[in-house]
Amino acid sequence: MSKNPLFLFGIILCLPPVFSIRPQTSDPCDPITLPDLHTVRSDQMTAIINGYSESRISLLSSIAATYSASPLVASVLVLWGNPSTPTETLTQLSHNLSISSYGNAPISMVRQPSSSLNSRFHPRQSITTRAVLICDDDVEVDSKSVEFAFRVWSANRNRMIGFFARSHDIDLARRAWIYTVHPDKYSIVLTKFMIMNYEYLFKYSCGGGQAMLEARRVVDQMRNCEDILMNFVVAEESRAGPVLVGAQKVRDWGDARNEDRRGLVEDRERKRVREVGLSSRKGYHRKRRGECIREFHRVLGRMPLRYSYGKVVNSVGEQGLCEKGGKLVLCDQQVLN
């Protein structure tokens, strides 16, 4: 074989690319590995998608590719939280993700050492933006809504921004905190889609001393409620509630209220995707999350959650109704005869 260095260089260039799965670093709070907040960019965000079930891989890949195509996304990070998934499966997924990027934002995957939901909020060296988008692997959002949500966050950088809202409340009869939904107010946004300041990742994972350590243990014990705890953290720091944003088109595949058309193979597949989610357990899910709120209140010694009212929308249309063509319609709406 020739020892010509140019010949050897040519062989190296012809080798197929190697796709690796990055492991989770042992200490996410090591200051040496954390990005400098003075140098992170504010004109884009990092999308972090949580993955767990192999039945959702196809949907996860599509969602990751969509975020990668957005000019507002600097990078997409897929966190795989199921330690029992075969390495071969994740290697193939990592390969597919790396070649499915439609834009300039690279897609990479991190295999988590455990299934702890707390790892969704680890500060990471790979995050190069001040805004962080945390999202699930079963929610598809249109690009215009993502852009609008980012604009709202840019004007409210100390607050949490989201599309899905819930609330805490007090059950006077039981004298206990509960998790619920109110039609006119909210205090929690969900990890289905939330945008926050990178600094809150550090405060969640590395700050708060013994009290936050115990609160994170509650998340691990319940295998739930990491989003509620993050809302506690942000409300405590910002002294304000979250901001609910109106979206044009959001498809929530994991919502238990999705209906199936009997007998269709496609709908059986959709049912498998939906049943993976914790929220598919309906009443039990709400009860458990009420327990989380009570435990967080107990271990932290305070209730920082604050109510917000109303929703931010991206257009101001006519509110008045007029009669046109025998129908009551918005006054600026054209009626075709």
Catalytic residues: 227
What amino acid occupies position 273? V
Cβ partners under 8 Å of residue 53, min gap 6: 82, 137, 273, 276
Please state, in angstroms and as integers, the Cα–Cα distance from residue 251 to each residue in 48, 164, 247, following that order: 18, 12, 10
Q: Are 289 and 175 in contact (CB under 8 A)?
A: no
Distance CA 282, CA 134 (A): 23
CA distance 187 to 168: 7
Neighbouring C-alpha atoms within 13 Å toward the C-beta of 158 = 7
How far apart are the C-alpha atoms of 158 and 163, rounded to whole Å? 17
DSSP state at residue 45: E
For the sheet containing 73-80, what is the strand order? 22-23, 107-111, 73-80, 41-51, 129-135, 193-197, 161-162, 243-244
- The Cβ of residue 323 has, within 10 Å, a number of other Cβ atoms equal to 10
CA 126 to mean position of chain CA atoms: 17
Of 109, 132, 116, 106, which Cα lies nearest the Cα of 45? Answer: 132
